[in-house]
Amino acid sequence: MKRYLPLVIIAAVALLTLASGTILYRAKRLPVLMMSKNDMPSAVGAKAIHVRGPADATVTLEEFGDFQCPACGTLAGAISQLEEDYAPRLRVTFRHFPLVSHKHAREAALASEAAGLQGRFWEMHDLLYREQSVWSKAPEVRLLFNAYAETLGLNSDRFEKDMQSDEAKSPITLDQQRAAELGVTSTPTVFLNDRAVPPSALNAPSLRAAIDAAMKVKPPL
């Protein structure tokens, strides 16, 4: 940013962060920050889940997250690093659990699902967490999410329609049903090989230790 804008404009942008124009300007610059990953395609349907990593991975990390949850945003960076460090032995599954206390959480979940219908769920997932401090404070997020979709190369008209579609809503509902079955009540909630990780261990060092321990356990014959 400093390379392209004089200090006066930088100051103005800082003061107008919540304004739609500033938010959209930031969104347009996001492709510079995008990181490519080898993503597995997400299924769409009754058993839709979002998975990144090989099916035969030694450890599966299942996260119930809320895109507006600050702790989830912090954990997302740690999980991303763990994916890189443990590939191909770690498989990550993301499930939606938008909290009603977060004004834009459900819309963010719908935005990720709408992106997923065009094959870009994980890109939107990563982008929403990376830019959480911006959109979570915005009074209106729809225009911003549309701008994010454009940065990912999505068809903007289809994206807007898909955000309202049953195809986008259904996976969120299914994930919430699974959360209820497992007794999930807060975010982030993480399971390693179907075992709940204590909230106190939801940090990079503790997760690394838990993954190392899980990798030493021999699978049942």
Residue 150, domain CATH: 3.40.30.10
Please indicate, yes or no, if residue 34 is contained in any of the structural domains.
yes
- Does residue 43 belong to any structural domain of this protein? yes
Asked if residue 46 has pLDDT above 90, the reply is no
| Residue 101, domain extent | 7-216
Which letter, b or e, does each residue of 153-179 get, where b requires 16 or more Cβ atoms within 10 Å of its Cβ? ebeeeebeebbeeeebeebbebbbebb
In which residue are the tokens 């919430």 written?
176
In a domain, 126, yes or no: yes
101 within a domain of the structure (yes/no): yes
> Residues near 107 by Cβ (< 8 Å), separated by ≥ 6?
141, 142, 145, 163
Q: Decide if 221 is inside a domain.
A: no
The mean pLDDT of 188-207, rounded to a whole number, is 97
Instruction: Tell me, yes or no, whether 1 lies in a domain.
Output: no
Let me know if residue 2 belongs to a domain: no
Structural tokens at position 179 = 């959360």
pLDDT tens digit sequence for 98-123: 999 999 999 999 999 999 999 999 99
Secondary structure letter of residue 41 according to DSSP: P
Q: Is the pLDDT of residue 184 over 50?
A: yes
The answer, yes or no, to whether residue 78 has pLDDT greater than 70, is yes
pTM here is: 0.80
At 49 the pLDDT is 82
Number of domains in the chain: 1
